[in-house]
């Protein structure tokens, strides 16, 4: 009983922080989504579900939703494929120093401030005249591309930057998962004549199932909430809202247009999408993987 009381006492500050910074803002946002709420206005009338009705008749919302789904689908797919391959290559290195060095180098963009790296890529990598990307394309005979000013390619620039910025985290997780797989299975398959590709598909991937699902779900959730690169790198969503995603639309409606009620309604929809992904993850984690 004394131990239980001590645990409860220790958890009280954490619980208070969760209530103040997570639960209370969640219900507050849900509440003001039912008001015509403007923080600069004294009168904020209750309008019920009018913000949600407006939302589902707003073409910009549907564009932002489509941009979000395309961005998340492409970046998550490429991220998983690239990081899985990199993790396999790194784990196959015979030297511990080399494995640690590559993991550290790949992880560096994850600890760098997103605002700073976005500015570097905007003014250095994706610059139309002297940008490194266009400079490299010039060697291939490809004319310079206005990566951040052309509505047809700005989302490609967002995808490239996001994969670069986020690649190290999942690579480290996959490396940890691969290190936890016993070598006996792969060695036995190699003796039986299985090549590296067959061993990876039929042995490594199934045994990496739990790590794979965790990485997939965490990446989905984090990419649905991406904001900084669309605000800084794409300069508030690029021309014609070509790179406006739900998080940026929430910012524009809430802080630029001072329409907090409508912005909160969009945030609730985004929260529900992320909640569905979270529920799926919890159910998949209950599956008996057989090992």
> What is the rounded distance in angstroms from the CA atom of residue 13 to the CA atom of residue 34?
31
User: What is the pLDDT at residue 64?
Assistant: 94
> What is the rounded distance in angstroms from the CA atom of residue 178 to the CA atom of residue 186?
11
User: What is the pLDDT at residue 291?
Assistant: 54
Which token pair is 255?
A: 């802080």
pLDDT level of residue 290 (50, 70, 90 thresholds): low
Measured CA distances, 53 to 28, 45, 50, 69, 127 (Å): 20, 16, 5, 21, 41
Residue 285 has pLDDT above 80, yes or no: no
Name the region of 142 (left: φ>0; alpha: ψ -120 to 50; beta: rest): beta
Measured CA distances, 272 to 86, 200, 221 (Å): 33, 36, 11
E strand or H helix that includes residue 15: helix 2-18
The SS3 call for residue 95 is coil
pLDDT in tens, 170-184: 999 999 888 888 777
pLDDT level of residue 74 (50, 70, 90 thresholds): very high
Range from 111-115, 164-168, 198-202, 220-224 carrying the lowest mean pLDDT: 198-202
User: Domains along the chain?
Assistant: 59-285 (1.10.3720.10)
DSSP state of 87: H
pLDDT in tens, 48-66: 889 999 998 999 999 999 9
Looking at the whole model, is its pTM more than 0.95? no
pLDDT in tens, 3-45: 677 788 888 888 899 988 888 988 998 999 999 888 888 788 8
Report whether 76 contacts 219 (CB < 8 A).
Answer: yes
Phi, psi dihedrals of residue 46, rounded to the nearest 5°:
-75, 130
Which token pair is 43?
A: 């009168």
DSSP state of 36: -
Report whether 234 contacts 148 (CB < 8 A).
Answer: yes
Residue 237 has pLDDT above 80, yes or no: no
User: 46 - beta bridge partners?
Assistant: 35
pLDDT level of residue 195 (50, 70, 90 thresholds): confident
């Amino acid at each position: 009983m004394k131990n239980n009381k001590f645990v409860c006492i220790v958890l009280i500050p954490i619980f208070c922080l969760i209530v103040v910074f997570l639960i209370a803002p969640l219900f507050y946002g849900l509440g003001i989504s039912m008001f015509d709420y403007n923080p600069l206005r004294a009168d904020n009338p209750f309008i019920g579900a009018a913000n949600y009705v407006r939302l589902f008749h707003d073409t910009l919302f549907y564009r932002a939703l489509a941009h979000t789904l395309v961005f998340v689908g492409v970046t998550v797919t490429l991220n998983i494929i690239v990081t899985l391959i990199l993790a396999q290559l790194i784990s196959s290195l015979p030297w511990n120093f080399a494995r640690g060095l590559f993991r550290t180098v790949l992880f560096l963009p994850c600890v760098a401030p997103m605002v700073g790296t976005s500015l570097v890529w905007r003014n250095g990598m994706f610059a139309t005249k002297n940008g490194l990307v266009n400079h490299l394309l010039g060697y291939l005979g490809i004319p310079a591309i206005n990566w951040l000013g052309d509505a047809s390619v700005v989302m490609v620039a967002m995808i490239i930057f996001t994969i670069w910025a986020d690649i190290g985290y999942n690579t480290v997780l996959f490396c940890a998962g691969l290190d936890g797989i016993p070598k006996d299975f792969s060695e036995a398959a190699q003796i039986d004549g299985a090549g590296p590709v067959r061993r990876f598909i039929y042995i490594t991937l199934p045994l990496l199932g739990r790590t794979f699902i965790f990485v997939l779900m965490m990446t989905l959730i984090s990419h649905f909430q991406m904001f900084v690169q669309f605000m800084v790198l794409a300069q508030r969503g690029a021309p014609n809202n070509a790179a406006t995603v739900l998080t940026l639309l929430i910012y524009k409606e809430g802080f630029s247009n001072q329409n907090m009620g409508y912005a909160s309604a969009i945030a609730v929809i985004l929260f529900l999408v992320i909640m569905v992904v979270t529920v799926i993850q919890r159910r998949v984690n209950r599956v008996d993987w057989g090992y």
